[in-house]
């Protein structure tokens, strides 16, 4: 005889499966087909490496291909908008950099998405330090050396930018020392680094993920981090505060988000997958290898971190006197 309790358990399980399958699509329980994510920068960049890594984590755990599409441009806004406008059915999962989504309202006059209203936050993944960089053969060994040169050159010197955090880090440096150095915008970090090596740029700010190979092979020199405290993976590099950039404390983070309205059951499953993985030794080892550190957090932590960072960006933009574009 089948007990009443067992019947109720089976019925509850069927109801959950039916709800998840029905809301995720007529093809059955999620995921019933390939999942997609969109990277805001070109293949081979630090962002691309990060997105593909966390896409593979998901792929291995749900036994479905996770397709990575690169849509660079507009400092990450093109990819962010594409994720926001995707159908909220669990088949578009955003693996997103906080510097793109949190900074946008403070930097752009018109946005086609709302960082809070158009996304459901799922989890946080890792924290990424940024650094002021010059070529290894540069005569500038310290920030003081570089600053003296830039003061002498005025608006005849330039720096490169390719992402929101790089712009703000550089502009806060300029404000701290009253520099007139001119910004040159790039679509990808490789073109920017080529110009840096060629001597066309005085310095750049870039994330550790993008530059870790060049740092390890001795092509780049780190003059300072963009944070108030020294980066854990680069303890010998002075912090922004130590070199006199008091208002700078920029360390981006990566997280998982989905289009607003994605079924709760799918969000719960994604959250468990990533929260469990971020707590693993495998994850800690990988983020250390690219100069970063774990940044564990569930959906509530991700929501709070996003709001806090959006507020911080408002202050950064005000202090750096950057006009919206």
User: Angle at Cα 279 formed by Cα 96 and Cα 213, nearest 5°?
Assistant: 60
Task: Express each pLDDT in 99-153 by its tens digit.
Answer: 788 888 988 888 899 999 999 999 999 999 899 999 999 999 999 999 999 999 9
Whether residue 4 is predicted with pLDDT greater than 80 in this model: the reply is: no
**Has this prediction a pTM greater than 0.95?**
no
* Domain-wise residue ranges, the chain: 30-128+251-320, 129-225
Task: Express each pLDDT in 66-88 by its tens digit.
Answer: 999 999 888 889 999 999 999 99
Q: Is 146 helix (H, G, I), strand (E, B) or coil?
A: helix
Q: Is 25 helix (H, G, I), strand (E, B) or coil?
A: coil
CATH match for 129-225 among 3.40.190.10, 3.40.50.2000, 3.30.1330.10, 3.40.47.10: 3.40.190.10
Same fold, 30-128+251-320 and 129-225: yes
Q: What is the mean pLDDT of residues 250-278?
A: 96
**Cβ atoms 122, 255 nearer than 8 A:** yes
Task: Please count the residues of the chain.
Answer: 325
pLDDT, residue 103, reads 86
Q: What is the mean pLDDT of residues 91-97?
A: 96
Q: Which CATH architecture has domain 30-128+251-320?
A: 3-Layer(aba) Sandwich (3.40)
pLDDT, residue 169, reads 93
Least Cα distance to 80 among 109, 38, 20, 130 occurs for: 38
Tokens of 77: 């806004």
**Cβ atoms 69, 38 nearer than 8 A:** yes
Whether residue 13 is predicted with pLDDT greater than 80 in this model: the reply is: no
């Amino acid at each position: 005889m089948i007990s009443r309790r067992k019947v109720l358990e089976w019925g509850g399980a069927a109801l959950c499966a039916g709800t998840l399958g029905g809301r995720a699509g007529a093809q059955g329980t999620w995921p019933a087909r390939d999942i997609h994510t969109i990277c805001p920068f070109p293949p081979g960049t630090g962002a691309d490496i990060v997105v593909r890594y966390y896409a593979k984590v998901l792929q291995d755990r749900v036994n479905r291909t996770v397709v990575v599409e690169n849509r660079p441009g507009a400092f990450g806004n093109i990819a962010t908008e594409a994720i926001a406008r995707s159908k909220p059915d669990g088949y578009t999962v955003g693996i997103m950099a906080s510097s793109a989504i949190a900074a946008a309202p403070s930097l752009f006059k018109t946005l086609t998405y709302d960082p809070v209203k158009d996304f459901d936050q799922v989890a946080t993944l890792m924290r990424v330090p940024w650094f002021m960089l010059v070529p290894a053969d540069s005569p500038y060994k310290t920030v003081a050396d570089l600053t003296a040169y830039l003061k002498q050159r005025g608006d005849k010197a330039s720096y490169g930018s390719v992402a929101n955090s790089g712009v703000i880090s550089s502009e806060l440096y300029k404000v701290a020392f009253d520099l007139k150095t001119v910004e040159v915008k790039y679509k990808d970090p490789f073109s920017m680094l080529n110009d840096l090596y060629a001597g066309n740029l005085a310095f750049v700010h870039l994330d550790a993920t993008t530059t870790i190979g060049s740092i390890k092979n001795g092509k780049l020199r780190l003059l300072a981090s963009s944070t108030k405290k020294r980066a854990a993976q680069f303890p010998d590099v002075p912090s922004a505060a130590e070199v006199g950039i008091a208002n700078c404390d920029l360390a981006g983070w990566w997280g998982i988000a989905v289009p607003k309205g994605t079924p709760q059951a799918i969000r719960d499953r994604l959250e468990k997958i990533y929260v469990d993985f971020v707590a693993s030794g495998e994850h800690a080892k990988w983020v250390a290898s690219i100069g970063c550190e774990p940044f564990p957090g569930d959906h509530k932590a991700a929501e709070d971190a996003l709001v806090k960072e959006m507020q911080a960006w408002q202050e950064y933009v005000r202090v750096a006197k950057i006009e919206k574009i």
